[in-house]
């Protein structure tokens, strides 16, 4: 799978500058977009998945950010560290209670920035995440959006098998939803994202 990471980071930077700020980076595991936080001051990355944290540590070493980035394996709701901004990176929709996650963030920082999948995402429909994403954006709207923006990226897959592996296997309804792409190669799926400051 290929994704234009540089374009995504440029979109994040144009929407909200992290320059010099102390940041609680929620859903930090994987480290795909860690360079977005390179201009930040102190960063504490929080993720509960040990495999994702291992990838994050590799990304931090590759980008030379280990000196100002602390990694914490924890459930978000148990974190007590304070910062200038809480940044939810494509993870709020995965949380059991997005509103509780936002309320907790409000106790730790004066600003909250969210990057997540958009409601109209076909990628999210393929992945069976539409309900979770709807619940997440409903919570964000109820919480009160100060500023928001949309952008899109392209997920590229060599073939159907790579797409199927990325969506983690043969669960229904995912297999049924992606069946329309069976046998195809050089698959491109537009993935719309939304950014919000609350």
Beta-carbon neighbour count of residue 76 at 10 Å?
Answer: 22
Residue 4: pLDDT over 80: no
SS3 of 13-57: HHHCCCCCCCEEEECCCCCCCHHHHCCCCCEEEEECCHHHHHHHH
CA distance 33 to 3: 11
Domain encompassing residue 140: 2-119+128-152+193-197
Higher pLDDT, 189 or 106: 106
CA distance 21 to 136: 25
Residue 159 domain-assigned (yes or no): no
How much is the pTM?
Answer: 0.91
- Over residues 76-131, the pLDDT tens digits come to 999 999 999 999 999 999 999 999 999 999 999 999 999 999 988 888 888 888 99
Residue 39 domain-assigned (yes or no): yes
Mean of pLDDT values over 126-152: 94
Residue 18 domain-assigned (yes or no): yes
Q: Note whether 88 and 27 are within 8 A (CB).
A: yes
36: domain CATH number is 3.40.50.150
CA 93 to chain centre: 9
Residue 163 domain-assigned (yes or no): no
Residue 76 domain-assigned (yes or no): yes
Domain count for the chain: 1
Among 17-21, 104-108, 119-123, 157-161, the range scoring the smallest mean pLDDT is 119-123
Q: Which helix (H) or strand (E) holds 188?
A: strand 185-197
Residue 176 domain-assigned (yes or no): no
Beta-carbon neighbour count of residue 160 at 10 Å?
Answer: 17
**Nearest partner of 22 among 4, 3, 37, judged by Cα:** 37
Residue 158 domain-assigned (yes or no): no
Residue 13 domain-assigned (yes or no): yes
């Amino acid at each position: 799978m290929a994704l234009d990471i540089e374009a995504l980071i440029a979109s994040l930077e144009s929407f909200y500058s992290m320059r010099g700020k102390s940041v609680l980076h929620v859903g930090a595991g994987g480290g795909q977009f860690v360079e977005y936080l390179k201009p930040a001051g102190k960063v504490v990355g929080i993720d509960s998945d040990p495999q994702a944290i291992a990838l994050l540590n590799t990304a931090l070493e590759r980008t030379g950010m280990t000196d100002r980035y602390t990694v914490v394996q924890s459930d978000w709701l148990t974190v007590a560290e304070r910062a200038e901004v809480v940044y939810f990176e494509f993870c709020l929709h995965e949380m059991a209670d997005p509103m509780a996650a936002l309320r907790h963030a409000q106790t730790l920082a004066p600003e909250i920035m969210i990057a997540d999948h958009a409601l109209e995402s076909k990628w999210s429909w393929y992945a069976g995440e539409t309900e979770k994403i709807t619940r997440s954006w409903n919570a964000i709207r109820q919480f009160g959006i100060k500023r928001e923006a949309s952008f899109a990226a392209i997920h590229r897959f060599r073939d159907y098998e790579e797409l199927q592996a990325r969506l983690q296997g043969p669960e229904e309804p995912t297999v049924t939803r992606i069946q329309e792409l069976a046998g195809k190669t050089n698959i491109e799926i537009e993935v719309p994202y939304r950014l919000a400051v609350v």
